[in-house]
Amino acid sequence: MEIYDYIDSHSSKASEALDWVVRQTHLRTNHARMLSGRVQGEFLKILVQISGASRVLELGTFTGYSAICLASGLPEGGHLDTLELNDELEDVILEGFERAGVSEKITLHLGDCKQTLERMRKEGTPEYDIVYMDANKREYSEYYELVFDLVRHGGLILADNVLWDGKVCQEPLPQDKQTVSIARFNDMVASDTRVESLILPLRDGLTLIRKL
């Protein structure tokens, strides 16, 4: 669409490392559509910077594009924990981090997101300033409850793909598991008195949630 081309052409350019991640994602996976993309990546980076976040948690690394953007916004001494289920992506993820110069800021946790989050809760992990959710859409509601206590008061939870190609707005609601689960998550957040939230029409929808 012309409007998206205009936005893209008038936003900051991606780094060589991010361009490399894009190329490798197209070469090594069949799911390049899952990349956050340059505009959303720059938004994530700037949000980390302006919020003053020093501890960030990401659910769903994929090939590392958004992780690099989040880590690039961190101050010296800041840290990102990123969780990914698919261990076959480890090589491209770690090489991307190295090329971007953010390896020392990131810890990659391979394994099931829910199991890793449950372990973090039991271990008493220090609170995060920002949590970015972009993993299994069918488990968003469960992720939300698991990460909630890991976020400091005043901290942010971001959830990607919450418009799901507009399917959440259709009547009757499509009954595939992803659409039903995202719609349930959206309703949960909208009615949660512990937070204030806003859905941004960025790419496939990004919910910005502030814990009160």
Q: Can you give the residue range of the structural domain that contains 118?
A: 2-211
CA dihedral 145, 80, 33, 188 (to 10 degrees): 20
Query: Which tens digit of pLDDT belongs to each residue from 130-150?
Result: 999 999 999 999 999 999 999
CATH of the domain at 74: 3.40.50.150
**Cα dist. 172→28, 169, 191, 209 in Å?**
37, 9, 21, 27
Using the predicted structure, report yes or no on whether residue 179 has a pLDDT greater than 70.
yes
Give the confidence band of 1 by pLDDT, cuts at 50, 70, 90.
Answer: low
**Residue 19: pLDDT above 70?**
yes
User: What is the spatial distance between Cα 19 and Cα 118, in angstroms, rounded to a whole number?
Assistant: 34
Q: Which pLDDT score, from 0 to 100, does residue 70 have? A: 98
Question: Span 11-16, mean pLDDT?
Answer: 92
Q: What's the predicted TM-score (pTM) here?
A: 0.95
Task: Specify the number of domains making up the chain.
Answer: 1
With 90 as the cut, is the pLDDT of residue 33 above it? no
- How much is the pLDDT for 166? 95
Cα(first)–Cα(last) distance of the chain, in Å? 37
Q: What would the mean pLDDT of 160-178 be, rounded to a whole number?
A: 96
Give yes or no for a cis peptide into 174 (omega within 30° of 0): no
pLDDT one-digit tens code per residue, 63-113 = 999 999 999 999 999 999 999 999 999 999 999 999 999 999 999 999 999
Chain centre distance of CA 149:
18
* Euclidean distance between CA atoms 166 and 117, whole angstroms: 29
Mean pLDDT score across all residues of the chain: 96
**63 φψ region: left (φ > 0), alpha (ψ -120 to 50), beta (else):** alpha
Residue 183 — very low, low, confident or very high, per pLDDT cuts 50/70/90? very high
154-178 mean pLDDT:
96
**160 close to 132: Cβ distance less than 8 angstroms:** yes
